[in-house]
Structure 1
Amino acid sequence: MRGILVKVAMAGIAPILFISYTTAPLVTHIHVHLPTGARASRALLERFVAAMPASTRLTFTTMSLIGKPRYSSVTVGDLRPAQGRRLGLVNYVRDTGDENATRKWYMYRAVGGFYVQEGLEKGKRYGRKGKVDGWIWDAVREKVSGR
């Protein structure tokens, strides 16, 4: 009886662990913190993006195991492309050593690997207009991969 109970428990835990491992680095939103001058017009925004400094802040939103969003603030200079990390589920990484050192023992560790889906800008987002400019992320991606 005890052996069956252990097998049933493992059969229930294994899918949860697999889902949490494979979906943790998935980025749902990317927020680019633009300076005030770059927000004034499209031309100024394009000029800023073309000469984007490494200190430009980004906020990646990922989902935790319970569906709660996790926000990770990074700079463009901190990101680097990843090859073969986490079974190919991570395509950008950052160093989290300093950030983890300042966190309390009961806090989650900082997210160090991110998976940003490529090629989704062709889709239509519910017909609403918003502040979504995918070309900015394309410029960031080219800058990160060019290093």
Structure 2
Amino acid sequence: FPERLLVYHAGTGRTVFLGALKVTTIFIATFFCAVLGPTYFYAENEPPWVSITVILSGIIPMISVIYITSPFVTYIHLRLPPFVRNSHELLKRFTKTLPRDAQIDITTMNVLGKPRVARMKIQDLAAAHERFGLVNYERDTRAIDGKRRWWMGRAVRQFGVHGGKGSVVGGEAWKDIQAAIAKRAEKGVRVNTSP
């Protein structure tokens, strides 16, 4: 097995559709704000409020799409230690009893649809129900954001893992990770030690 083992994939069709939707709404908002808005503003037979309405009709869909799709998770990779990479049986045992320092890489999409990877320990994730159910996992990023430079932007805090499938060991690896997160939530244990 590779060092970064794919344990969850949201699906190529869904990922491509959401990436295209994000870029399309940005182009539409740009067209409405740069072309149509000024055209209606300088038109002699149109009142000024029409141009504001036109600009808002381009901006509101873009903001809605960005808000809805920002937590969407495309991939989750489990980082495997060297001793686990040689055997299915060892992999099953490893995922059933995940150590405290087990790490995952969660890939989301930025505003333009470009992949954005967040590496964290599994213990840093907690179950959540935010943004009308679009977010089902979150992590505390205050310590990470405090160390980041201002131009790097904030660390990804919310994740939406919906549908998709686990591709390793019949999907068992991702189910085991979900079970470990749920078990930690039941105990009320949540430690943030991410760098």
- TM (norm. structure 2) is 0.67
- Structure with the higher fraction of residues in helix conformation: 2
1:127 aligns with none
Q: Percent identity?
A: 37
Residues 1:135 and 2:172 are matched in the alignment: yes
Equivalence for 1:9: 55
Task: Indicate the residue corresponding to 1:21 in structure 2.
Answer: 67
Does 1:92 find its partner at 2:129?
no
Number of corresponding residues: 136
Larger Rg over CA atoms: 2
User: Which residue, 82, 98, 104 being the options, matches 1:52?
Assistant: 98
Determine the structure 1 residue equivalent to 2:165.
Answer: 121
Distance in 2, Cα, partners of 1:121 & 1:103 = 33
1:87 maps to a residue whose letter is F
Q: 1:2 Cα deviation (Å)?
A: 2.4
Q: Distance in 1 between matches of 2:131 and 2:155?
A: 16
RMSD: 1.3
| 1:67–1:121 Cα change, 3 Å | closer
Offset of residue 121 of structure 1: 3.0
Matched, 1:37 2:74: no
Q: What is the alpha-carbon distance in structure 2 between the residues aligned to residue 56 and residue 2 of structure 1?
A: 58
**In structure 1, C-alpha distance between the alignment counterparts of 2:150 and 2:165, rounded to whole Å:** 39
| 1:117 Cα deviation after fit | 1.2
TM-score, structure 1 length as denominator?
0.88
Give the letter for the 1:139 counterpart: D
* 2:113 match: secondary structure: coil
Aligned equivalents of 2:80, 2:99: Cα separation in 1:
11
Structure 1 runs, 4 residues or longer, greater than 2 Å off: none
Distance 2:172 2:55 in 1: 46
Q: 5+ unaligned residues in a row in structure 1: which ranges?
A: 123-131
Partner SS for 1:16: helix
- Residue 108 of structure 1, CA deviation: 1.6
Q: Return the letter of the residue paired with 2:161.
A: V
Looking at structure 1, the residues matched to 93 and 133 of structure 2 have their Cα atoms a distance apart, in angstroms, of 34
Map 1:51-90 to 2 at 5 A.
51-83=97-129, 85-90=130-135
